């Protein structure tokens, strides 16, 4: 299991690099995806995780599903709605801080799965929010850069 990098770490501010097609399916990539999955499923509050959050500057994110995560390699938002929604948001890399953020209500994303197959998926509501949050990570942006009404929560021991 990897350690989730926190906001002060410079790697979270860098634009992640595309995964070369020849690396898809490689042992190295399988290991990265495995580490990401273990780390995400071990986190109590986590819903999704971008590779830069575990120190890997590649354009990959995963979304928690019941049995195994949805994997997005080299994702691109190809369509996004003008209509926005105002949402509450937090982040595993900005522990204990929540805020209000404006995100597009709907989008269409194109990405590769772990076998290199291209897929296109539409998303709305909560899933659209998750995808935008993770794409921000891949572009070196944290939700606190865009959010308002930041609120620090304290976890009770």
Query: Which sequence positions are flagged as catalytic?
Result: 134
Is residue 7 within 8 A of residue 147, CB to CB? The reply is: no
Q: Which two tokens stand for residue 133?
A: 């949050």
**Cα dihedral sign for 13, 18, 20, 26?**
positive
Expressed in percent and rounded to 5, the helix, strand and coil fractions of the chain are 30, 35, 40
Q: Which of 4, 3, 27 is nearest to 137 (CA)?
A: 4
Phi, psi (rounded to 5 degrees) for 126 = -60, -40
């Amino acid at each position: 299991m990897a350690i989730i990098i926190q906001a002060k770490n410079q790697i979270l501010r860098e634009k992640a690099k595309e995964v070369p097609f020849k690396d898809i399916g490689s042992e190295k990539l399988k290991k990265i995806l495995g580490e990401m999955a273990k780390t995400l499923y071990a986190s109590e509050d986590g819903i999704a995780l971008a590779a830069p959050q575990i120190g890997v500057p590649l354009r990959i994110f995963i979304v928690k599903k019941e049995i195994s995560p949805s994997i997005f390699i080299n994702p691109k938002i190809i369509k996004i709605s003008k209509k926005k929604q105002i949402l509450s948001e937090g982040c595993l890399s900005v522990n204990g801080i929540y805020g209000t953020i404006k995100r597009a209500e709907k989008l269409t994303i194109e990405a590769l799965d772990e076998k290199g197959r291209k897929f296109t998926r539409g998303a709305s509501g909560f899933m659209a929010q998750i995808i935008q949050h993770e794409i921000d990570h891949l572009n070196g942006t944290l939700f606190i850069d865009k959010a308002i009404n930041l609120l620090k929560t304290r976890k009770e021991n």
